[in-house]
Amino acid sequence: MSEFFTPAFLLILIFSTIRLATPLIFAALGGMFSERAGVINIALEGLMLAGAFTAAVATYELNNPYLGFLCGIAVGGLVALVFAVAVIKFEADQVVTGFAVSLLMLGLPAVISSRLYDSAGSTQQIPQEHLLPNFYNRISIASILAFLLVPACWYVLYKTPFGLRIRAAGENPGAADAAGVNVIRLRYIAVVLSGVLAAAGGAYLSIGQSSLFTRGMTAGRGYIALAALILAKWKPIPVLLACLFFGFTEALAIQMQGVIKMPSGEDVPVQFIQIIPYVLTIIVLAGFIGLSRAPKALGIPYRKEN
């Protein structure tokens, strides 16, 4: 076990944690705006898949990762708008609709990919020179953007009139409406913003961390981001810390493969190691959801009084 304490191992673990936390930070920050405005966003997983698939296809076709990234977040915003219309205008159940979006985006990319590339499992491999750049082959530009977004989101949420209105819409939409805030429009903006940010996390997965889109490549990261959001009590700085925690557990699980032994001397089956982040997600949801105070109007449709 001494290899766990070498400087080289710790450095690898730190950079791996940052890389693995990056898509979670994007998605959790997006979910924060939506849920602070009063709309439960279970669709984070689907929004990440939309961004990942679109970014991979656009980058491959346009040979430009920045245009691919922008296309990914644009489609994420569009899918989020459809979700917003369903839950805000037509008052569909937010949890059920969110799951429906995630299920749709689990299957739709496979259909489109099979049409474009004769492969339902993955898109075409993107050349290395057309991926998002990495600094010193360790940190992606998307990771830097994700970390910079945390203080920016904190400032927007707590130091601007827009942030005040977002929080008011999620706590007491009736009072916000009486004060002249257009709650419906604000919720639309918050949900679309959540789609843009979550899709950015998905785009990073396909053109930053990987070099193609594979079916279901988010692997539940949208739900882990939601767990991080609950653990962080819907606050930006704690969101960063929670995402780093989940990124660390995944990084540690990867490094533990082939190292941890059973009493018999055999390697611990890799499947048991890979489930560690998901088990921790369940524990967090079970243990902290009752301790975190959600916005009071979260999940409650708002009808403007005439």
- Pick from 129, 153, 125: which is nearest to 26 by CA? 153
Residue 219 lies in a domain: yes
Taking only the tens place, the pLDDT of each residue in 166-220 is 999 999 999 999 999 999 999 999 999 999 999 999 999 999 999 999 999 998 9
pLDDT, position 134: 87
Determine contact, residues 202/73, Cβ cutoff 8 Å. Answer: no
Region at 118 (left for phi over 0; alpha for psi -120 to 50; beta for the rest) = left
Distance CA 152, CA 148 (A): 7
pLDDT, position 264: 66
Segment 162-170 long-range contacts (CB within 8 Å, at least 24 positions apart): 166/33, 166/36, 166/37, 166/190, 167/36, 167/295, 169/36, 169/37, 169/38, 169/297, 169/302, 170/35, 170/36, 170/37, 170/38, 170/295, 170/296, 170/297, 170/298
Residue 293 lies in a domain: no
Q: Which residues pair with 122 in a beta bridge?
A: 214
pLDDT beyond 80 at 146: yes
Residue 289, C-beta contacts closer than 8 angstroms, at least 6 positions apart: 230
Q: What is the DSSP string of 61-97?
A: HHS-HHHHHHHHHHHHHHHHHHHHIIIIIS---HHHH
Quote the distance between the C-alpha of residue 210 and its chain's center: 16
Considering 9-18, 19-28, 253-262, the range whose residues carry the highest mean pLDDT is 19-28
Residue 299 lies in a domain: no
Considering 40-54, 136-150, 257-271, the range whose residues carry the highest mean pLDDT is 40-54
Q: Which residues pair with 214 in a beta bridge?
A: 122
Residue 302 lies in a domain: no
What band does 26 get if pLDDT is binned at 50, 70 and 90?
A: very high
What band does 11 get if pLDDT is binned at 50, 70 and 90?
A: confident
- Residue 203: Cβ within 10 Å count: 34
Residue 304 lies in a domain: no
User: C-alpha distances in angstroms, 137 versus 126, 149, 207?
Assistant: 17, 22, 14
Is the model more confident about 8 or about 231?
Answer: 231
pLDDT, position 262: 62
Count: domains in the chain: 1
What band does 286 get if pLDDT is binned at 50, 70 and 90?
A: confident
Taking only the tens place, the pLDDT of each residue in 190-202 is 999 999 999 999 9
Taking only the tens place, the pLDDT of each residue in 78-114 is 999 999 999 999 999 999 999 999 999 999 999 999 9
Residue 300 lies in a domain: no
Residue 301 lies in a domain: no
Distance CA 239, CA 245 (A): 10
Distance CA 203, CA 48 (A): 7
pTM of the predicted structure, to 2 decimals: 0.93
- Pick from 12, 61, 1: which is nearest to 252 by CA? 12
Residue 222, C-beta contacts closer than 8 angstroms, at least 6 positions apart: 27, 43, 44, 45, 46, 47, 48, 49, 102, 198
Q: And the tokens for 117?
A: 């590339």
Q: And the tokens for 296?
A: 């009071």
| CATH number for the domain that contains residue 16 | 1.10.3470
Distance CA 88, CA 93 (A): 10
pLDDT, position 154: 97
What band does 8 get if pLDDT is binned at 50, 70 and 90?
A: confident
Give mean pLDDT, residues 142-161: 96
Residue 228 lies in a domain: yes
What band does 120 get if pLDDT is binned at 50, 70 and 90?
A: confident
Containing structural domain, residue 64? 2-288
Give mean pLDDT, residues 269-280: 76
Taking only the tens place, the pLDDT of each residue in 52-80 is 999 999 999 999 999 999 999 999 999 99
pLDDT, position 274: 76
Query: Helix or strand or coil: residue 261?
Result: strand
Distance CA 48, CA 76 (A): 7
- Pick from 156, 191, 174, 198: which is nearest to 37 by CA? 191
Q: How far apart, in Å, do the first and last CA atoms of the chain sit?
A: 68
Percent of the chain at pLDDT above 90?
72
Name the residue with tokens 């088990």: 279
Taking only the tens place, the pLDDT of each residue in 231-257 is 899 999 999 999 999 999 888 888 776
Percent of the chain at pLDDT above 70?
91
pLDDT, position 283: 78
